[in-house]
Amino acid sequence: DTKVTEGGLNVTLTIRLLMHGKEVGSIIGKKGETVKKMREESAARINISEGSCPERIVTITGPTDAIFKAFSMIALKFEEDINASMTNSTVTSKPPVTLRLVVPASQCGSLIGKGGSKIKEIRESTGAQVQVAGDMLPNSTERAVTISGTPDAIIQCVKQICVVMLESPPKGATIPYRPKPASAPIIFAGGQ
């Protein structure tokens, strides 16, 4: 387990996640207790975009170790939700935990690597599935990066993605993706 901080990478970083309303509800928790606990334990700043949209942006900012802690708490919470939803179901195989990161398109090239070499390396070394969307998110210069796997695989994967993002900062201006309110026809990112 390489300590990211040793490479002088203990800088403040911002990672943005795309979530559905139900996932956001799970992260916020009753009366905001879950997100409060995540903020306190990870020491990361966790902001959630306002609530009229079916998709919301969760922004996590802090030193890299705070971000990893926040991510691990989110991944574990989602795993809990999956376990809870399976209690009464007949499904035998457990679906993986899935997180969607929003990454400036200018950084996606570095994340994919020459001929897909970098993303293949990340998949193989972490055991997580990683997919970079081919198209940009509507009205933005960002793409969705979908990570799925066990919470542990996801955390390892996020660490590697953070390293890539720190090594190759975005070029030019980034137009951030803003989810549309529910009144507009809903087109989900990633063509689901």
Given a cut of 90, whether residue 26 has pLDDT beyond it is yes
Buried residues in 53-81 as b, exposed as e (16+ CB within 10 A): bebbbbbbbbbbbbbbbbbbbbbebbbeb
Query: What pLDDT, on the 0 to 100 scale, is given for residue 190?
Result: 53
With pLDDT > 90 as the criterion, what percentage of the chain qualifies?
78
- pLDDT confidence bin for 93, thresholds 50/70/90: confident
Query: What pLDDT, on the 0 to 100 scale, is given for residue 50?
Result: 84
Fold of 7-167: TATA-Binding Protein (3.30.310)
Given a cut of 60, whether residue 117 has pLDDT beyond it is yes
CB 112 within 8 A of CB 132: yes
Q: How much of the chain is helix, strand and coil, in % rounded to 5?
A: 45, 20, 35
Given a cut of 90, whether residue 86 has pLDDT beyond it is no
Q: Stretch 165-183: mean pLDDT, rounded?
A: 89
Q: How many Å apart are CA 25 and CA 35, to the nearest integer? A: 10
Given a cut of 90, whether residue 114 has pLDDT beyond it is yes
Given a cut of 70, whether residue 145 has pLDDT beyond it is yes
Given a cut of 60, whether residue 4 has pLDDT beyond it is no
Per-residue CA distances from 158 to 33, 83, 116, 154, 181 (Å): 25, 22, 17, 6, 28
- pLDDT confidence bin for 10, thresholds 50/70/90: low
Task: Dump pLDDT digits (tens) for 36-55.
Answer: 999 999 999 999 998 788 89
Higher pLDDT, 3 or 188: 188
pTM for the predicted model, two decimal places: 0.86
55-63 and 45-48 beta bridge pairing:
antiparallel
CB atoms within 10 A of CB 117: 10
Tokens of 42: 């990870």
Q: What are phi and psi of 152, to 5 degrees?
A: -65, -45
Given a cut of 50, whether residue 1 has pLDDT beyond it is no
Query: What pLDDT, on the 0 to 100 scale, is given for residue 87?
Result: 84
H or E segment and range at residue 160 = helix 151-167
Q: What are phi and psi of 113, to 5 degrees?
A: 80, 170
Q: Stretch 161-172: mean pLDDT, rounded?
A: 92
- pLDDT confidence bin for 191, thresholds 50/70/90: very low
Given a cut of 90, whether residue 6 has pLDDT beyond it is no
Give the start-to-end residue ranges of the domains of the chain: 7-167
Query: What pLDDT, on the 0 to 100 scale, is given for residue 187?
Result: 58
Residue 168 is classified by DSSP as S
